[in-house]
Structure 1
Amino acid sequence: MTSDLNTKVKAASKAAIVLASMNADEKNKALESMAKALDAKRSSIIQANAQDIDNAMKLKNDGLISQALVDRLKVDDNKIDGMIAGILDVVDLEDPTGKTLESIEIAKGTFLYKVSCPIGLIGVVFESRPDVVPQIMSLCLKSGNSIVFKGGSEAIHSNKIIFDILIEAIERSSKVPAECFNLLESREEVMDLLSEDDYIDLVIPRGSNEFVKFIQDNTRIPVLGHADGVCHVYVDEMADLDKAYKVCFDSKVQYPAVCNAMETLLVNKHIAPKFLPKMVEMYKTANVEIRCDDRSYDIAKDIQGLNLKRVEEKDWKTEYNDLILSIKVIDSLDEAVSHINTHGSHHTDSIVTEDNDNKRRFVSLVDSSSTIINASTRFADGYRYGKGAEVGISTNKIHARGPVGMEGLAIYKYVLVGDGDTVADFEDDGCKKYTHKNVLKEFNI
């Protein structure tokens, strides 16, 4: 382990205590300055990103990285607009820490409070996407957490310029300790970062399936995230076809290189002959490669100019991150649910139907972090869910699930306020009795 990394991690852990005690106004001042700085330094960001894009294209041409990775790397004015909007949305969000979540009267005059607080020091390891830096930095700052970032070498110039701009803005405008935020640059530091379980409280990985699995398999630190994004849309026999065409097209085509894009389309057999011909024609205009089971192949095979293949068993569990789609005709909603729970990744799955019973059954039976009715899977995103931005999407079933915003960066502590109480007072021969009553009482000293 490098002494420099260990020094940074220790300093960030110590600075997290200072940040945790700061009020929302001071943190918002830093966030507003960060947003203004990104706007003022657009040309520098885009210029640095161009270097990364050039290098990434060479790697892609040599077969070393995918086109999806290149797509995620690109930063333009629209992407910078999104970074700024995400930060400003975080400014408007309520500070998640210092809130009384529960209060219990233990006994007369003795109260127990459950109070929200920051997690502490977050390790963020990510591939490609430079917009991860302002997204997670803003959420961690507002929620009172320190961060150690480790980005991929393919985005080294973009990450550094964005990080430096944000740090300079924080130092210039606020009392937030700059030591709270650190960017690691060498490849060798990844394993060192993952070994810092004495100081780092949570690791958030952002990247490919293989990348996330590697992180999960190589650290004792708790990991928040997901490895796969195998998302589905099920078109029910009671679907409104106009809605179905829009939802299914957007779910696959709007941005195929991300984890919440649809990879498998399930269509009820009663509606498939009417629905699929037009749907497949729409996909053809977007150059989508179609991989069909036997029943959908029979419907689509006569469409001219279609990039059509037979589906293989492995396709049902594949996250393509590309303009490729598997299609299966199924007999019932129960079969759709079984297919999703068996082959999906518990990320995001959608149903298109007008039947309320089928809506309820789908939502209750599909075991995914986001279930959607009559809308695109692409909505499963922290910004679109109104969280300002997201630290990641989690398919975990503990702590935080789905698109995770600031609520996933807060935990809680118990605060017991007594008046010289002792446990002996409550024993069999003591003078006090437990009341254990829930009360509406804010923790305030």
Structure 2
Amino acid sequence: MSETTEKSTETKVAEAERAALSLAKCSDEERSAAIHAIADAIAANHEEILAANERDVEKAEELLAAGEYSQVLVDRLELSASKLESIESMVRSVAEQDDPLGETQTARKLDEGLELYRCSVPIGVVGTIFESRPDALVQIAALSLKSGNAVILKGGSEASHSNRVLFDLIEDATAEHAATSDSADAVPDGWAQLIEARADVDTVLEMDDSIDLVMPRGSSEFVEYIQQNTQIPVLGHTEGVCHVYVDDEADLSMATEIAYDAKVQYPAVCNAVETVLVHEDVAESFLPGMVERYADADVEVRGDETTRSILESEASEADAATANVAPATEEDWQTEYGDLIVSIRVVDSIETAVDHVTTYGSKHTDSIVTDSSEHARLFMRSLDSASVFHNASTRFADGYRYGLGAEVGISTGKIHARGPVGLDGLTTYQYYLEGDGQIVGTYAGADAKPFLHEDFGGEWEPGRRSTDRSQ
């Protein structure tokens, strides 16, 4: 396998910058074939990947025992044969997505024989800094390649062995595919680079002349550090303080299933629910059964005063677990647990629920359970979250589930990309003007010729006007 640590960060970035220019011209057929080669390499090397991952997990469990790591981090770190199969499927799904490049977004006739096109192109060189999940490295690499971007990858030190073996497989697979391809635009060497030292991050952040976008995945504090220490545009993936609001017109059986799935199906991810809000008119009917479901799944429940009062009055010897609810604090409302912990608050109106989400949420994903289309519309239009759901689990906020193939992260900002960031979020656009000898002077001055500015449904074909003229 290839060596990943002998070059300086500056050299790696320079190689990525050169590769980006070639990759932008690489056909979708070649990029997609190279991505399938990555999936093949992962499928053929389960044993090696899992052995490397086991070294990371063993070290993480030692630090967990010492109180330095959380169980959430260990859970996110661990790979399995089934998880590798899921990663392979994800990689192939990226390859099968429509080509995000070269799409004509607008076509406008400025004048006869003078046509302006806006077309999608890669961003260029993207830098990514992500948390303990080694599958994030594969997702980001596959999406970057499909979208024609060179990528600088920096994973957490806790996943160093896993990240290194996965990167080497990716690099070798694409290089071997390029070597056997008879295409003139095969995937170039250097399109993906791995940096491993913490000091390398600061070096990357200073290279705003070479790196076009930085995508950090981690805590709000971490993303804020990145934003404050670079002039490179930052597309931040921060914490998910997600909510499920059970309305007074909710189907309570549906609400129970949604709130359960949103917490229990996989609690260690950013789209898991952290706070359940319940309208006071249905609280007595909903809470005992909901909390009992949570107790059966070993979910620790923390409730406001009204929640605890209802549960204590409803408790019996048979369901005493429902009375064992700790008081929720102000900190609970703004905490991403990433674990089998949930906070519950009873509210007096949909407006109070919206106010709670606005005050404590992270603008990630929030859901209302209701049979009232009016209430759903009010809730959904009142929130500023990247994703707002009606009668569905917050766990659907995911690039793969959205049909994006995968995601590089979930953006809670508003500029350039929001929510799960897939291929479209890794593209920008260029303007292409096709003329026939026109000059600006014709359209300026007292006798200026007026522009037409007529939109039409054409697709950009480079050099078409020259070809037409020669015929």
Q: What's the TM-score, normalizing by structure 2?
A: 0.92
Give the counterpart of 1:305 among 311, 321, 341: 321
How far is the alpha carbon of 1:262 from its aligned partner?
Answer: 0.5
The letter of the residue matching 1:68 is V
CA distance in 2, matches of 1:50, 1:381: 27
**Residues 79-98 of structure 1: matches in 2 within 5 Å?**
79-98=83-102
| 3-state DSSP of counterpart to 2:321 | coil
Partners of 2:236 and 2:76 lie apart in 1 by 18
In structure 1, distance between residues paired with 2:7 and 2:207: 12
Match of 2:146 in 1: 142
1:141 Cα deviation from its structure 2 partner: 0.5
User: Aligned residue for 2:377?
Assistant: 360
Length, aligned pairs only: 444
Match of 2:332 among 315, 327, 337: 315
Take 2:446 and 2:439, find their aligned partners in 1: how far apart are those partners? 13
- Please point out which of 346, 355, 372 is paired with 1:329: 346
Q: Could you tell me how far 1:67 is from its partner in structure 2?
A: 1.2
From 399, 420, 429, the equivalent of 1:382 is: 399
- Please give the secondary structure, in 2, of the residue aligned with 1:277: helix
SS in 1 for 2:129: strand
Amino acid at match of 2:409: G
Deviations along 1:151-198, whole A, 9 cap, x unmatched?
111000000111111111111112211201001112221111111111
1:403 equivalent in structure 2: 420
Contact kept? 2:238, 2:411, Cα under 8 Å: no
Paired residue type of 2:321: G
2:114 to 110, 115, 135: 110
SS of structure 1 residue aligned to 2:346: strand
Instruction: Answer yes or no: is the 8 Å Cα contact 2:236–2:413 preserved in 1.
Output: yes
The superposition leaves residues 14-52 of structure 1 with CA deviations (integer Å, 9 ceiling, x where unpaired) of 110100001111111101111111001001101100000
Name which of 422, 435, 443 aligns with 2:452.
435
Contact 1:107 1:432 (8 Å CA) reproduced: no
**Kept in 2: contact 1:261–1:377 (CA 8 A):** yes
Question: More displaced, 214-223 or 70-79?
Answer: 214-223
Distance 1:406 1:3 in 2: 29
The whole-number CA distance in structure 1 between the counterparts of 2:292 and 2:321 is 9
Distance 2:229 2:71 in 1: 27
Choose the corresponding residue for 1:369, options 366, 371, 386.
386
1:3-42 correspondence runs (5 A): 4-42=8-46
Deviation, 1:432, is 2.6
Q: Deviations over 1:183-232 (max 9, x none)?
A: 11122211111111111111111223433332223222111123221000
Choose the corresponding residue for 2:222, options 211, 227, 232. 211
Equivalent residue letter for 2:125: L
Q: Which amino acid aligns with 2:188?
A: P
**What's the offset of the Cα at 1:431?**
5.7
Amino acid at match of 2:414: K
Cα deviations across residues 323-376 of structure 1 (Å, max 9, x unaligned)? 111111111111111111111010000011111111111111111000011111
The residue number in structure 2 matching 1:252 is 263
DSSP-derived class of the 2:51 partner: helix
Contact 1:424 1:430 (8 Å CA) reproduced: no
Matched, 1:60 2:64: yes
TM-score, normalising length: structure 1: 0.97
For residues 217-258 of structure 1, the C-alpha deviation after alignment (integer angstroms, 9 at most, x for no partner) is 322211112322100000011111111111000111111111
Question: Aligned residue for 1:295?
Answer: 306
Take 1:342 and 1:376, find their aligned partners in 2: how far apart are those partners? 21
2: CA distance, partners of 1:428 / 1:434: 13
Q: For the residues of structure 2 that align with 1:361 and 1:111, how far apart are their CA atoms?
A: 43
Instruction: For residue 3 of structure 1, report the CA deviation from its aligned partner.
Output: 7.7
2:161 matched residue in structure 1? 157
Asked whether the equivalents of residues 52 and 155 of structure 1 are also in contact (C-alpha less than 8 Å), the reply is yes
- Is 424-433 or 103-112 further displaced after alignment? 424-433
2:468 corresponding residue in structure 1: none
Q: Structure 1 residues 71 and 362, CA, compared in 2 at 3 Å: closer, same or farther?
A: same
Asked whether 1:77 is paired with 2:88, we answer no
Please say if 1:413 is aligned against 2:427. no
Which residue number corresponds to residue 279 of structure 1? 290
**Which residue does 2:174 correspond to in 1?**
170
Residue number in structure 2 paired with 1:179: 190
Task: Call closer, same or farther: CA 1:371–1:429 in 2, change over 3 Å.
Answer: same
Q: In the alignment, which of 270, 281, 295 is matched to residue 270 of structure 1?
A: 281
After the TM superposition, which segments of 4 or more aligned residues of structure 1 sit over 4 Å from their partners?
Answer: none
1:431 to 1:224, Cα distance in 2 relative to 1, 3 A: closer
* Alignment-derived partner of residue 240 in structure 1: 251
Contact 2:292 2:321 survives alignment (8 Å): no
Q: Secondary structure at the match of 2:10?
A: helix
Say whether residues 1:345 and 2:356 are aligned partners. Answer: no
On the 8 A contact 1:13/1:120 being kept in 2, the answer is: yes
Give the whole-Å Cα distance in 2 for the aligned partners of 1:287 and 1:210.
Answer: 30
Identity of aligned residues (%): 48
Alpha-carbon distance in structure 1 between the residues aligned to 2:46 and 2:274: 34
What is the CA-CA distance between 1:444 and the residue it aligns to? 0.5
Amino acid at match of 1:215: I
C-alpha separation in 2, matches of 1:240 and 1:179? 54
